[in-house]
């Protein structure tokens, strides 16, 4: 595992990606921001649109001093940031349970799907397995914190629509994710829109109107990406469509907070479990926390047992009390699915789309953080942005040297 960002100052992977600094870490290793150094000098100029967008992303979202200064200094730096930055995952070749090669193969299978990061390169460099992929924006966990751990119903419903579609796509490729959580959903940064709007795809075919007006242009800024397939598993054969067998002797895989009840009980996971986990994520956003958070235990095993007990003893209606009935309907549906049964993804999307329309929301991709960023940008412009420390919506000072990118 990489020990520090400093030790990687001159580390170049794949012959062209130079590591800049560490932006995250996990059980597998570290994630670095890197720059493609083979594109030569960056010409001056660029569009005002690129300038404005980059300033918003790198100062308002990540609050990083160097990027902020670059944006304020000259356009050439902003265009450089827009076009050449990538994310690099490093995994020690001595890792006890290496997973990066497996993850890279799975990404290749998923390439081309809406909200799937583009893979640039995989290989070995020095003592590391290396995966180079598109640089994305903050995770939903980061944005939840940025919004003072409060999402409006409009934001939750717009996210739910895309999240269901991301999971459905992975399932169509014969894999289950097995670690659905806010940290593993990242927003794009404006240049990675690999398909058109989810809500627009096949809309005429389905006869579904998400809003009274036409959907706005779908940009990478609005697009949600699903990442981290290290725990993903093939649940059926590509050719025969034979489903994996039912078993009851499995250890818990994934994150206990969002794990399905069946996963806690040691039952082999299938498509239903990804969907149930998503239900807990949505209620986490609605409630700010889940009833089984913060439980104390002497060991990890005992903590998992307590989480399982609390989860099983909390009726769906209690979990979803005070929120639209559609959330309880969603969870009850997912818990009622059989092991091999294919979820009705369209039905689940429709639950939330109809609710969205009933609440008279406009599908304009204006998320809660969009409003906060605009407000912060306006305040920064009025104050001149001179000598001020970046702040979160709660007013707490943040470390500008480290972008909040955990879960990348």
Distance (Å, whole) CA 266 – CA 247 = 8
Q: How far apart are CA 280 and CA 264, in angstroms?
A: 14
Structure tokens at 48: 């005002």
Cβ(68)–Cβ(59) below 8 Å: yes
Residue 258 neighbours by CB distance under 10 Å: 23
Residue 66 token pair: 């160097």
Q: Point out which residues pair with 132 in neighbouring strands.
A: 88, 121
Per-residue tokens: 340 = 């091999």
User: Whose CA is closest to 408, among 84, 184, 143?
Assistant: 184
Instruction: List the catalytic residue out of 30, 142, 179, 228.
Output: 179
User: What is the rounded distance in angstroms from the CA atom of residue 33 to the CA atom of residue 23?
Assistant: 6
Please, which residues bridge with residue 224 across strands?
187
> What value does the CA radius of gyration of the chain take, rounded to a whole number of Å?
22
* Three-state SS at 36: strand
Both tokens of 213, joined, read: 């007006």
Indicate if 179 belongs to the active site: yes
Alpha helices (runs of H) in 179-299, residue ranges in sequence order:
203-206, 261-264, 271-287
Exposed / middle / buried, residue 330 (Cβ in 10 Å: 0-12, 13-18, 19+) = buried
Q: 94-97: list long-range contacts, CB under 8 Å, 24+ apart.
A: 94/127, 95/1, 95/28, 95/29, 95/129
Tokens at 18, concatenated: 């130079």
Question: Do residues 320 and 331 touch, judged by C-beta distance below 8 A?
Answer: yes
Backbone angles phi, psi at 345, to 5 degrees: -60, -35
Q: Which residues are catalytically annotated?
A: 179
């Amino acid at each position: 595992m990489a020990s520090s960002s400093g030790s990687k100052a001159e580390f170049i992977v794949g012959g062209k990606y130079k590591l800049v600094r560490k932006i995250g870490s996990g059980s597998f290793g570290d994630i670095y921001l890197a720059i493609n150094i083979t594109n030569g000098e960056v010409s001056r100029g660029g569009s005002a649109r690129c300038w404005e967008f980059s300033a918003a992303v790198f100062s308002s979202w990540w609050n990083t001093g160097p990027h902020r200064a670059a944006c304020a200094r000259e356009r050439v730096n902003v265009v450089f940031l827009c076009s050449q930055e990538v994310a690099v995952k490093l995994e020690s070749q001595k890792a006890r349970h290496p997973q990066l090669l497996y993850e890279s193969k799975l990404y290749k299978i998923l390439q081309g799907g809406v909200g799937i990061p583009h893979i640039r390169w995989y290989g070995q460099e020095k003592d590391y397995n290396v995966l180079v992929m598109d640089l994305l924006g903050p995770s939903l966990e980061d944005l939840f914190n940025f919004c003072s751990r409060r999402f409006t119903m409009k934001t939750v419903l717009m996210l739910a629509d895309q999240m269901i579609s991301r999971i459905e796509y992975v399932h169509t490729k014969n894999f289950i994710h097995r670690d659905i959580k806010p940290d593993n959903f990242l927003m794009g940064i404006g240049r990675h829109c690999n398909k058109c709007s989810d809500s627009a795809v096949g809309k005429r075919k389905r006869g579904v109107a998400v809003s009274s007006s036409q959907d706005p242009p779908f940009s990478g800024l609005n697009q949600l990406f699903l990442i981290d397939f290290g725990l993903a598993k093939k649940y059926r054969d590509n050719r025969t469509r034979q489903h994996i067998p039912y078993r009851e002797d499995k250890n818990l895989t994934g994150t206990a907070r969002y794990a399905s009840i069946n996963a806690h009980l040691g039952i082999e996971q299938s498509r239903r479990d990804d969907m149930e986990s998503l239900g807990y994520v949505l209620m986490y956003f609605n409630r700010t926390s889940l009833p089984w958070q913060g439980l104390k235990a002497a060991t990890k095993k005992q903590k998992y047992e307590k989480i399982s007990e609390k989860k099983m003893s909390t009726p769906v209606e209690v979990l979803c009390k005070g929120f639209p009935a559609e959330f309880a309907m969603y969870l009850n549906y997912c818990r009622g699915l059989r092991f091999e049964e294919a979820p009705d993804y369209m039905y689940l999307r429709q639950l939330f789309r109809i609710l969205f329309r009933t609440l008279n929301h406009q599908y304009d991709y204006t998320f809660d953080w969009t409003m906060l960023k605009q407000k912060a940008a306006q305040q920064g412009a009025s104050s001149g942005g001179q000598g001020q420390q970046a702040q979160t919506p709660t007013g707490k000072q943040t470390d500008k040297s480290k972008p909040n990118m955990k879960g990348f």
